[in-house]
Amino acid sequence: MKELTRWWSEINGANGTWLLLGKGPSFERRDEFDLGQFRKVSLNHVVREMLVEVASIIDLDVVADCAESIYGNAHYLLMPRHPHVKHQPSEQPLESFFTQLPVLERMSREGRLVWYNLSSGNTEPDSPIVPTGFFNGEVVVNLLAQLGARSIRTLGMDGGVAYASHFQDLDERTRLANGHSKFDLQFDGIQRTIRRYWIDYAPLINETPVRIFIGTDESQKLGARVLEYSIRKHCPQPLSFDHMECVKVPPINDPHNRPRTGFSFNRFAIPALAGYRGRAVYLDADMLVLRDFRELWNLPFGEATVLHAATSDPRRPRQFSVLLLNCGKLQWDLPGIVRGLNDSRYDYEQLMKELCIEPAAHVQDAIPPEWNSLEEYVPERTGLIHYTDMMTQPWVSRANRNGQLWLEHLREAVDTGYITLNEVETAVRRGFARPSLLWELGHVARRTALLNGTVGWYLDRNFKPHQKLVAAPNPKIPRPEIVHPALS
């Protein structure tokens, strides 16, 4: 048998992209892709369906089921040092089962049996311990990430409770036989692994990276950065962010048609910035994402070219602050759109509130309203909260009833290093964020003192939201004592 790290070194495991193949419904789509470009790992019974570099099996019952396929279809068999029997870790090491399962002894003799320490059972010294998970795929993602893999794709590692048709014969025997309610349970652990190791991970059937264009200016930059972090926290897939700082809007003749913010018209440059291909998302900066962003990213377009969020309040006009764009079918040209305004073909209201540059049938409110929840938060339901009231946005006011959600994400982003304290300091110094933010990012004991409102009120007493200040410190804004270790 080969120990895990020795084997990894021999096969140059950090090179290339690993593809994990599970029994979920998307396995049926494998013929749509060129799988030859990947280093393939089969999970459990998938090895009986195709040739792979590695077969990952945790439970000995699967070895018994697939012995012939394992030997013929997999170059290596990857198993815990103390394998599971009927979903429980065995007290006996792997070699104790050589007589019972001759394929193990045969592959060991040929240098094709690889063992690793799984935390659910006994472990051996001088080899890393791989955390257990709800399912085999979660374990393998963690194992590959620990070893140094940088890119992972999956096919057939789906949520829900179904198998692909190839594995219907296993429905009654193995599907959720470990007692768990659904396959979705693996995704929380996978997300933690991705965030810890920052690996490039995505289902093969998803378009990657998720391209997100954020409408922002200097006054909203901190909000935009927290929005970025919130998306990364909840989305285990490669992401790209563009604040569209390179976009220049041509002069507009009629003052009534001029943009209301410095970034209002930037969204119309997105198809060109995306190379007129694939999908893209537009978001305003004053938002926070609280669920897996793939729920929005993977929505079907149908015949539409633009999807926007439906509104749950009939008194509100249509909202175009969250957009999913089919860039391959949108021929938007920002200078041409501005010419339309200057030639009086339409006005600002028609452009921004009706999206009149697209046929009405191509603009559909197919994004659920919980993905643009206006100042409302419902636990376990809200996917994106939109802080639309500028005077109570959490970075300028402590009065927002859902501001604690934003502050928690800011703290996490600073603690993980995604946002630096220098970024927060700069926003405060320039008058774009309230001074009490720095106090709230300080020591826990002093943070507790803030709860009585006295400290926060004092620090913010001269702060006026959304008044753009010069880069130099404003002498009227007291600079709070900085207690975070990184600034001490």
Report the C-alpha gap between 59 and 470 in whole angstroms: 64
| Residue 488 reports pLDDT greater than 60 | no
Burial 262-272 (b: 16+ CB within 10 A, else e): ebbbbbbbbbe
Query: 47-51, 181-185, 418-422, 458-462: which has the minimum mean pLDDT?
Result: 181-185
Strands, E, within 33-128: which ranges?
A: 39-43, 52-56, 74-80, 84-85, 88-89, 113-118
Please report, for the chain, the start and end positions of each structural domain, with discontinuous segments joined by +: 2-203, 210-377, 390-487
- Residue-wise pLDDT for 225-268, tens only, equals 999 999 999 887 778 999 999 899 999 999 999 998 889 999 99
Please give the mean pLDDT across all residues of the chain.
88
Which CATH code fits 210-377?
A: 3.90.550.10
DSSP state of 190: H
Q: What is the DSSP string of 71-91?
A: HHHEEEEEEESS-EETTEE-S
Question: How would you classify the pairing of strands 39-43 and 84-85?
Answer: unpaired
d(CA 323, CA 284): 10
d(CA 179, CA 163): 16
**Is the model's pLDDT at 477 over the cut of 60?**
no
| pLDDT number for residue 461 | 79
Question: Does pLDDT of 37 surpass 60?
Answer: yes
Over residues 44-60, the mean pLDDT reads: 96
Query: Which structure tokens are listed for 403?
Result: 């501001």
Question: In whole angstroms, how far apart are CA 399 and each of 211, 387, 392, 404?
Answer: 33, 12, 6, 10
Kindly state the greatest CA–CA separation across the chain.
86
- pLDDT tens string 135-174: 889 999 999 999 999 999 999 998 677 788 889 888 777 7
pLDDT beyond 90 at 364: yes
Q: What is the mean pLDDT of residues 62-83?
A: 97
CA distances from 124 to 116, 120, 127, 128 (A): 9, 12, 7, 9
The answer, yes or no, to whether residue 103 has pLDDT greater than 80, is yes
pLDDT at 288 over 60: yes
Give the model's confidence band at 38: pLDDT under 50 very low, under 70 low, under 90 confident, else very high.
Answer: very high
> pLDDT grade, residue 454 (50/70/90)?
low
Q: What angle do CA 352, 267, 345 make, to 5 degrees?
A: 40
Q: Is the separation of the CB atoms in 164 and 27 below 8 Å?
A: yes
Tens digit of each residue's pLDDT (9 = 90 or more) over 384-408: 999 999 999 999 999 999 999 999 9
> For residue 31, is pLDDT > 70?
yes
Confidence at residue 43, expressed as pLDDT on a 0 to 100 scale: 96
Give CA–CA dist 18/413, Å, rounded: 29
Flag the least confident range among 54-58, 148-152, 410-414, 443-447.
443-447
Lowest mean per-residue pLDDT among 46-55, 229-238, 344-353, 449-458: 449-458
Q: What's the CA gap between 381 and 379, in Å, rounded?
A: 5
Q: What is the DSSP track for 348-395?
A: HHHHHHH-TTS-GGGEEEEE-GGGSEES---TTT-SEEE---GGG-TT
Reported as a pLDDT band with limits 50, 70 and 90, residue 455 is low
